[in-house]
Amino acid sequence: MVKIGSIELCDFPLLLAPMEDVSDPPFRAVCKKNGADLMYTEFISSEGLIRDAAKSIQKLDIFEYERPIGIQLFGSEIKSMREAGIIADNANPDLIDINYGCPVKQVACRGAGAALLQDIPKMVLMTSEIVKIAHRPVTVKTRLGWDDASKNVVDAAERLQDVGISALTVHGRTRAQLYKGEADWTLIGEIKNNPRIKIPIFGNGDVDSPDKAKLMKDRYGVDGIMIGRASIGYPWIFNEIKHFLKTGGYLPTPNITDRVNTCKAHLDFSIKWKSKHAGIVEMRRHYTNYFKGLPNFKDYRLKLVTTYSYDEIITLLNEVENKYSQNEIL
């Protein structure tokens, strides 16, 4: 059993990564149904939260069936992050996570996310302030370092543990890499095998199959794995990994009916959570991923991402199911 503070997880938990414009409640619902053990909200701006920005406030929405779930915060100012931490704490998540890993320009170049890897003392102080105000475990997600010349995550891990974090997730790239090249888990393994480290260490980066999950588990000894991009349009990856780790065998890949039904459930929740119009628009980014690999899908995709009619979307999805089930190729 893996414990994050008082939160008890299974022996090798699989975590759904916090992803902007992806890991909202509708997406989390399909991932939870398909085996995600711990999930996070989209990352939330501390400045947006303390200014009551509607988009930031809405990201605090969590549902009982999602538990355990963490709210993830990012920001560049310690005072703002502390205030945002109080707001997040009052939203009653199971844990609060701090984002020191986001590499995108809009975040990192404003001194937040991965930018804090350039100022470990500030990172540690910011973390300490949030630990002090939180009534639940505080965790951190970060990267190896800012660039190849400053891979300082091993030192950062010790110092973050010393100020009270309850778990650490490390993405195996530097900020300079963004999402390019291969993730390097070497330093993640070094942190996990550091005798000073007593908290759970989760690895993240490039795990997109059961085989790769087992390889990272066996090679680096991590306590669990966080999965991000590989789950987009493919929430089945969580149960596929669990089954493989338990039995050494592979679950059947989802057929076209599985994909269509999951897509419909995702759409319905999206509409229920936001509104009919917003839910339909939000789903447009997901169709390509749910039906990746289907030949001659372009015409269907074009219709799905341009219509505002729920009935037309359902009709199109039914057509997709009927057409491709005749010659199952997934």
CA distance 41 to 64: 14
For tokens 């199952």, what's the residue?
Answer: 328
Q: What are phi and psi of 32, to 5 degrees?
A: -60, -45
CA distance 140 to 157: 9
Residue closest to 143 by CA, chosen among 212, 203, 199, 190: 203
CA distance 211 to 241: 8
For tokens 């549902």, what's the residue?
Answer: 63
Beta strands 14-16 and 38-40: pairing type?
A: parallel
Residue closest to 76 by CA, chosen among 130, 43, 50, 114: 114
Question: How far is residue 178 from each of residues 85, 116, 183, 206, 246, measured CA to CA in Å?
Answer: 27, 15, 10, 13, 33
CA distance 49 to 59: 9
Q: What are phi and psi of 130, to 5 degrees?
A: -75, -35
CA angle (104 as vertex; 98, 106 as ends), nearest 5: 90
Residue 60 tokens read as: 């605090």
263 is catalytic: no
CA distance 313 to 188: 43
Q: What are phi and psi of 3, to 5 degrees?
A: -120, 130
Quick check: 80 and 47 in contact, CB under 8 A?
yes
Catalytic residue among 31, 102, 109, 263: 102
Residue 321 tokens read as: 């199911």
Q: Which residues are catalytic?
A: 102
